[in-house]
Amino acid sequence: MKKLLSVMLIVVLLFSMFPSSEINATYNTNSAQDYLTANSANPWSTMALSALGNSSIPIDHLISINGTNAIDHAAPILAITAIGENPRVFSSTDYVAALKSYYTENQIGDITMLNDDCFGILALISAGESLDDVIIVDSKNFIFSHQNDDGGWGFSVTANSDTNMTAAAILALVSAGIDNSDSRIQNALSFLQTSQNNDGGFPYYSDSNSDSSSTAWVIWALNALDIDPSGLIKSDNTPISYLELNQSEQGFFKYQNSSSGEDSFSAMTTAYAVIALQGKKLPLNIVENDALAQKFPFRIEGLEETICLGEVTGPTALDIVKNAKSICDFTYEVKDTDWGPYLKRINNDEAKGELGWLYLINNISLFVGAADYEMQTGDSVLWYYGGFDWQPTRLVLSAEQADANQSVTATVEFFSDNSWSPLVGASVYFGVDTITTNTNGQVGISLQDGFYKIHAQKEGYVRSNSILLKVGQGASSSVDLTVTIENGDVEGDSTNEDTISFVVDTSNLDFGNLNSGSSATKNITLNNNGTSDIHIEALVSGDSLFTENLDLNSVSWKNFETDIAQDGNQNVAVELSIPAGYSDGNGAKSAQLTFWAIAQ
């Protein structure tokens, strides 16, 4: 008999919040506000006036944006959200959709540039787009892939590092959920710190003269990292004192100390400085988008296997697939047709003949294109590769835990005419064995100790959901995981005599201190000390903070799987991401992470 060993990790978290940093600046806010109001016809003045708390901000210049590239849309979106408006409906043009239209080759806009990726991420986040949106995730990875050896970033993918793009990259990455303590963020911070001049300010390129714009951008990044910029002292000067020194009697900020007076960029330079001196960062505000604020349960069934399942944001049924890519390792292809976007392929399952990709909402087929169906509260999505007339099925077990040889009833049903009916002749799979359902759509299952993932299939029907059945007590060991927040294919084979045994290499993992919107990763190693090659999957149960936000090797635990050869081992990165704006109370959180194994 196959012997199955599980490893159970008990996850415990503590929850508290750190306050954000504040800046004590003594610049003339009244004259700066008067100057910006008189020069208000640009998005940056709008943002700066919003940062000052102005309630009468001119907005006509934002009504009609005739942008021709991604960066043309980013600043207006940031300005519109800064005043609390939704850029999707602010004018007759959906500015968010327009910005997203420049997504190409896994990044935003010009493939040779980084500024459109940084500000594109900031704009999308300000508009309420989910951090797991595929455009944000891909663009974040694109930025990371072009970090220079000195820790900074340049304006283009091949340029030397400069302070402006390094600051913008920090803003984008931290906003996208990267923790302040991440080594790549710390390397970027080190680059900025070494670029500071004796006058307290920052230059565009190191070893050149300081300017107000570059200094302001660096202060934005420091604000994002909860670092007080007045603490960066160089020859008794700070970034704050440098900016204050550059304010003119007319209220605007000069580009450099040596500048003679106002120029065509003074309004933007002043806006940058005001945002910085008000202790703000980009994005200034994040608007709520009801269609994106909630996650929707989904399942993607390929021809041979379940490709992905979990919960992601919309807003459309097609976006469910796009966003699911961020939690599962699959590829997809969407083809533009005369009747709209069409999901042509996921992995190797490509539309051909009478088979293709179809979607069901709450098990019902709709005569609406997936790109046009707006997800509603309570919706669940089933994408499947099959025929148009295939009907969905579901599996229900009378118990999900049983003693050895105890009978468990599996019931299989199909959905038709808004009701569920028994599915006769369906094959219920448990490991290498199957049983066919009777006239009641049922089978009795009696198994030996182990863990079994049960599902049902029948030709002409969509594969059912899978349920993990635990039989007997099994073996387990525990590892404690702690954090302080501051803000498989599991199958049974009753004839296999191989011994399955694997161990985890540590008894404790501590995630350290985390803020809302940040994440931390800890590594464990699974060692196969049994007599056969094994296949491993995972199960998480307990607090929703873990069931919704725990990844293993960069994929959701629900879709994690790995193979380990006899006497081999596998490193597993356990990542916990705290959602931005997490507000489910302080205190300890707990869950269980269990690895199950089968012999191959």
| 218 plus 310 within the same structural domain | no
Cα 194 to the center of its chain, rounded Å = 32
Which range has the worst mean pLDDT, 416-425, 529-538, 564-573?
529-538
Kindly state the average pLDDT of the residues 380-401. Answer: 96
- Same domain flag for 461 and 340: no
User: Domain limits at 368?
Assistant: 290-386
Shared domain for 60 and 208, answered yes or no, is yes
pLDDT of residue 526: 86
Per-residue tokens: 549: 């936000």
Q: Is 438 helix (H, G, I), strand (E, B) or coil?
A: coil
Q: Which range has the worst mean pLDDT, 235-239, 292-296, 383-387, 490-494? A: 490-494
Residue 1 lies in a domain: no
Asked whether residue 2 is assigned to any structural domain, the reply reads no
Query: Does residue 294 fall inside a structural domain?
Result: yes
CATH, residue 367:
2.170.130.30
Asked if 334 and 269 sit in the same domain, the reply is no
381 and 403: one domain?
A: no
Q: Are residues 150 and 296 in the same domain?
A: no
Residues 558 and 577 in one domain: yes
The total number of structural domains that make up the chain:
4
| Same domain? 294 vs 244 | no
Residue 498 pLDDT grade (very low, low, confident, very high; cuts 50, 70, 90)? low
Whether 515 is in a domain gets the answer yes
Residue 187 near residue 180 (C-beta atoms within 8 A): no
Q: What are phi and psi of 558, to 5 degrees?
A: -65, -20
Cβ(500)–Cβ(477) below 8 Å: no
Report pLDDT digits (tens) over 113-132: 999 999 999 999 999 888 88
Query: For residues 73 and 64, is the Cβ–Cβ distance under 8 A?
Result: no
| Helix (H), strand (E), coil (C) string for 257-317 | CCCCCCCCCHHHHHHHHHHHHCCCCCCCCCCCCHHHHCEEEEEEECCCCEEEEEEEECCEH
Q: What is the CATH number of the domain that holds 167?
A: 1.50.10.20
Same domain (yes/no): 144, 248: yes
- Cis amide prior to 315 (ω within 30 degrees): yes
Whether pLDDT at 257 is above 70:
yes
For residue 156, count CB atoms less than 10 angstroms from its CB and return exposed for 0-12, middle for 13-18, buried for 19 or more.
middle
Last residue of a domain, one of 413, 441, 471: 471
Residue 157 in domain: yes
pLDDT above 90: residue 16: no
Residue 352 lies in a domain: yes
pLDDT score recorded for residue 519 = 80
pLDDT number for residue 463: 96
Q: Is 90 exceeded by the pLDDT of residue 237?
A: yes
Q: Which of the four pLDDT bands, split at 50, 70 and 90, describes residue 293?
A: low
- Model confidence pLDDT, tens digit, residues 448-494: 887 888 999 999 999 999 998 888 865 444 444 444 434 333 334 33
pLDDT recorded at residue 476: 42
Q: Report yes or no: 311 and 323 within 8 Å, Cβ to Cβ.
A: no
What average pLDDT does the segment 198-218 reach? Answer: 97
- What CA–CA distances, in Å, run from 163 to 105, 137, 146, 203, 586? 26, 23, 15, 7, 37
Task: Record the pTM.
Answer: 0.54
Res 499: pLDDT: 66
Q: CA triplet 562, 567, 570: central angle to 5 degrees?
A: 30
Residues 348, 306, single domain; the answer is yes
Give the CATH number for residue 448.
2.60.40.10
- Give me the pLDDT at residue 3, please: 34
**Is a pLDDT exceeding 80 seen at residue 581?**
no
**Interval 494-508 mean pLDDT:** 62
Question: Higher confidence at residue 420 or residue 577?
Answer: 420
Choosing from 277, 309, 336, the residue where a domain stops is 277
pLDDT confidence of residue 356: 96
Would you say residue 284 lies in a domain? no
Residue 26 neighbours by CB under 8 Å, 6+ apart:
244
Mean model confidence pLDDT for the chain? 86
**Residue at a domain's end among 444, 471, 498:** 471
Q: What is the pLDDT of residue 20?
A: 38
Does 406 share its domain with 332? no
pLDDT score of 450: 78
pLDDT score at 485: 38
Q: How far, CA to CA in Å, does 309 sit from each of 324, 349, 466?
A: 8, 17, 11
Q: How confident is the model at residue 4 (pLDDT cuts 50, 70, 90)?
A: very low
257 and 194 within one domain: yes
